[in-house]
Structure 1
Amino acid sequence: MRFHHASLTVSDLPAAMGFFGAAFGFAPDFVEEEMGADIARMAGHPGLLCAFTQMRAPGIDMVLELIAFTHPGGTPPADPLPWRPGAGHVCFHVDDMEEILTTCCAAGAEVLGEVIAFPGGRCCYLRTPGDAFVELEWMAPAT
């Protein structure tokens, strides 16, 4: 068994793809514009549709999937709280917190609270375009 991908549900697939490309260098392996019957059967929700991509970035041994669901009743509103059950995030360990935070904000992300310090490092949560959540973490070099 091996890990294949991490998936984030987003409200706007093109916006999320643009952010992850600009901020972290992810590029799509493929994009599926409309998946219907298969996703409805897989999720057990008749009428459910989705568009999704699987993306890779140089030097990152992880496939990132971004997926936007729709259904006959419309798209549910994005949950603005990453700590609610069912919500999730991916965390990127960064070498320069200020540089990548500046890059992420320039690409449209917003810091949810503040950058906090903990023994040996710093971290923060971001909301990305498309309403996904990302954590940035910097660890002090070992001495």
Structure 2
Amino acid sequence: MTSGIRWHHASLTVAEIDPAITFFGAVFGFEPIFIERGLSDDIAALTGKPGLSADFTQMRSSAYPLILELIAFHAEGDIRPHGDALPWRPGAGHVAFHVDDFDSVVATVVAHGGTVMGRAIEFPGGRSIYCRTPGGAFIEIEHLHEATP
């Protein structure tokens, strides 16, 4: 049953909020709808982890119909773990962007501090590559070929 259910946002966990905001703004044109810093009681309640706080933003771009949320968690007394370098582990995720100029967007990702994880692959409908953003989130850049009649 999907009545009354709508997609609201996709969320990526990042190490630091400001470099991630800068990256997604420069590369994909996202602008913050709002930014919250030091949110603690609600984050601890949501996650069930006492002492956890977060800085987060929700961002929009006129080019995409989705809201992108970026969230950087901070735990009292905990050493923050390094971001996972493996996007295939359970719990890891990514967002994918369909682009018109694949090579140009990949170059822009790298120019703004992102890293290419492997190599681009070709598939019957187009090309794709995984990248890691500043802050450790995973994204996919994808170009889909136009369908021929």
Task: State whether TM-score is above 0.5.
Answer: yes
Instruction: Point out 4+ residue stretches in structure 1 off by more than 4 angstroms.
Output: none
Match of 1:133 in 2: 138
For residues 2 and 39 of structure 1, the distance between their equivalents in structure 2, rounded to whole angstroms, comes to 23
Residue 66 (structure 1) aligned to one of 64, 70, 75: 70
Q: Does residue 1:77 correspond to 2:55, yes or no?
A: no
Percent identity between the two aligned chains: 53
Deviations, residues 20-45 of structure 1 (Å, cap 9, x unaligned): 00000000000001110111011001
Q: Is the 8 A contact 1:12 1:131 kept in 2?
A: no
Residue 2 (structure 1) aligned to one of 2, 6, 10: 6
For residues 120 and 43 of structure 1, the distance between their equivalents in structure 2, rounded to whole angstroms, comes to 39
List alignment gaps of at least 5 residues for structure 2.
none
Deviations, residues 96-123 of structure 1 (Å, cap 9, x unaligned): 1011111111111110000111112110
Deviations, residues 61-106 of structure 1 (Å, cap 9, x unaligned): 1000000001021322111111111111000011110111111111
Residue 34 (structure 1) aligned to one of 27, 35, 38: 38
- 1:59, CA displacement in angstroms? 2.1
